[in-house]
Amino acid sequence: MAAERLIEILVPTAHEESIRRVVRTSDLRWSWHQSANGNTVFKLAVPANRVEDILDPLEPVLEGIEDARLVVLPVEAMLPRRSQLDEEEKGPANVLDPQKSKNIRGRLSREELYLDVKGWSNLNADFIVMTVLSTVVASIGLAKDNAAVVLAAMVIAPLLGPNMALAMATTLGDRKLLLESLRTGLIGISVAAATAFMATAVLPMQLVSDTSITASKEILSRTTVDLADIVLGLAAGAAGALAITSGVASSLVGVMVAVALLPPLVVTAGLFAQGQISLALGAGLLLTANLACVNLSAVTVFAIQGVRPRGWWDAKRSAQLTGIAVGSWALLLVALIALVLWLQWNG
């Protein structure tokens, strides 16, 4: 995550004083403004973990101003460095000192996080095409026992995004985003399952022989679930949530590989297509465990990171949704663990 953000605020000049009052209360030392054509542009250089502290008091002001706009831009470099300025300027303590932020964990602001995950909840042609293509790649890789091809399918599969958006919507108490994420995730799973089912029937490949289980190792490894898989899912889901809140999106690639949703889904659909119900149920358990682990750990991390709405009423609703989500996913996970232990005990 970049250390600095540039906040630009465009308002009609007639409302300039409203913005100026908010800026003054923040005691910003790195801010400036310019007026032209009946509009005033304010520019504020802010530590990345203080953006939310600035946007919260500005939001209600901007809501009452027609044609007002606020954008937050990443800053790649700044001279002199903020630490040098702090040493050189001997004045009142700057309330924008990162050490004094309520956001002590240095995460991205609520608004930045929202924009990041909002795109993952969108159901569009690109999402459907990527889901179909990644499913075809995974089906071929699994049938040919080619780990490299399966790995490629894990990386390009878009199914993790809607689940992260679902977890974010829960902690923000955003019902619209929650429903969009849930719809996109369910349709993505349905499209992948249907594609895998048809691929198994059409492509010249045999997942399991008619007389004995001779499936590839890539397939058989996804027909069982144990406690190690659950621990891996929880850790990977937490890592993914931390990657999002810290702005390190590239780390999500590792999460996609560690807790892949697509391969067990493809195995489940493919084995069902061939009538191998017992093995298919095992793969389905692995898929369910991964989904529960990702959502449970992501919601928990977002809540610990202080991702919540601004208003007290929305925060109350968010806390209720978070409690329901954590309780539901945890209950499902406990049931899965109990089933895994029972299967191991009777295996």
pLDDT, tens only, 110-143: 888 888 788 888 889 999 999 999 899 888 888 8
Alpha-carbon gap, residue 120 to 161, rounded angstroms:
5
pLDDT-derived band at 202, boundaries 50, 70, 90 = confident
pLDDT score at 285: 92
Q: Which has more pLDDT, 13 or 247?
A: 13
* Mean pLDDT value of segment 259-275: 86
Residue identified by tokens 């800026």 is 23
Instruction: Indicate the pTM of the whole model.
Output: 0.77
For 39-83, what is each residue's pLDDT tens digit?
A: 888 888 888 778 888 888 888 888 888 888 899 888 877 776 666
Q: Does residue 193 surpass a pLDDT of 70?
A: yes
* Mean pLDDT value of segment 76-91: 60
Q: In sequence order, what are the beta bridge partners of 44?
A: 7, 31
Distances in whole angstroms, Cα of residue 264 to Cα of each of 56, 223, 247: 43, 8, 29
- Torsion angle of alpha carbons 97, 101, 103, 107, nearest 10°? -10
CATH 3.30.70.120 positions along the chain are 4-106
Q: In sequence order, what are the beta bridge partners of 45?
A: 6
pLDDT score at 65: 86
Strands 4-12 and 39-47: antiparallel
Question: 4-106 has which CATH code?
Answer: 3.30.70.120
- 63 burial type by CB count under 10 A (0-12 exposed, 13-18 middle, 19+ buried): exposed
Q: Does residue 98 surpass a pLDDT of 50?
A: no
